[in-house]
Amino acid sequence: MIAEIFVIMYAIVVMGFVAWNIRKGAFVIDPSKLVPILIFILLVFVLFLRYTGLNLGVAVATLMKIGAAGILFAGTIPMISAAVGLFRFGDEFSPNIFYVRNHITGVIDTVASLVMIFAGLLIYRLDLVAVGFFFFVLIPFCGNALANAYYYNYQRRLGK
C-alpha cells in the first residue's frame, strides 16, 4: 500500500511536469540541462544504494525501471491530448481539418514509438527498441503518403 501511494506521487510529479511543458508550449527546463541533471541524480542514487549494501547491477536495474515507469507516465499526457484533438473537430471534413488530423495521428505515432524506444532501453528490452526505431523511421513516410493521397484526390475532385 505504501508503494502505491509513492507511485501516485511519482505519477503526479511526472505528468504534472509534462503538462506544464505542454501548457507553456516550450521546454520548462532545456533538455541539454535536464538530461545531465537526471543522469547525475541517477548516479547519486546508485552510489547511495551501493553504499547501503545493494548489488550494483540490481541497483542500476531498479533505478532504470523507475525511469521507464516515468517515461510511460510522461507519454500518457501527450497521448490523451492527441485523443482530445481527434474528438475536437466533430464532423468537419475540410482539407485543413484533414491536415490537422494528419498531424494529430503523427503525434500519436511519435509518442508511441518514443515511449517504446526509451522504455525499452531502460528495461534492457532491445526487441522493443528495434521495433520502436523501425516504426519511428516509417512515421514520416506514412504521414507524407496520406497527405499526398488526400491532396491528389482533392485536386481531382476540384477538376471534375
Partner 1 sequence: MIDLALFADTAFFWGAFVFMVACSIAGIGAIRLALKGEAVTSLMGVSALTTVAGVSLYLIQIIFDVEFARDTAIALLVLGAVGTIVFARLFRMEGGQ
Of 31, 87, 158, 160, the one binding partner 1 (CB under 8 A) is 87
Distance from first CA to last CA of the chain, Å, rounded? 66
Are 135 and 113 a contacting pair, CB within 8 Å? yes
- Residue 70's Cβ-count burial label (10 Å; 0-12, 13-18, 19+) is buried
Please choose, out of 16-24, 27-35, 36-44, 66-74, the segment that lies near partner 1 by the rule CB under 8 A: 66-74
112 near partner 1, judged by CB under 8 A:
yes
Give least dist CB 126 to partner 1, A.
13
Return the closest-CA partner of residue 44 out of 33, 29, 60: 60
Residue 84 grid cell: 482530445
Q: Which of 126, 156, 158, 160 binds partner 1 (CB under 8 A)?
A: 156
The reply on whether position 125 binds partner 1 by CB under 8 A is yes
Closest contact distance (angstroms) between CB of 36 and partner 1 is 23
- Residue 98: CB partners within 8 Å, gap ≥ 6? 147, 150
Instruction: Tell which one of 19, 38, 66, 121 touches partner 1 (CB under 8 A).
Output: 66
CB nearer to partner 1: pick between 20 and 151: 151
Q: How far is CA 33 from CA 10, 13, 17, 75, 125, in A?
A: 21, 19, 15, 20, 27
Q: Is residue 18 close enough to count as binding partner 1 by CB under 8 A?
A: no
Among residues 77, 72, 80, the alpha carbon closest in space to that of 128 is found at 72
Give residues in contact with partner 1 (CB under 8 A): 2-4, 6-7, 10-11, 49, 58, 62-63, 65-66, 68-73, 75-76, 79-80, 82-83, 86-87, 91, 93, 98, 101-102, 105, 108-109, 112, 115-116, 123, 125, 127-128, 131, 134-135, 138-139, 141-142, 145-146, 148-150, 152-153, 156
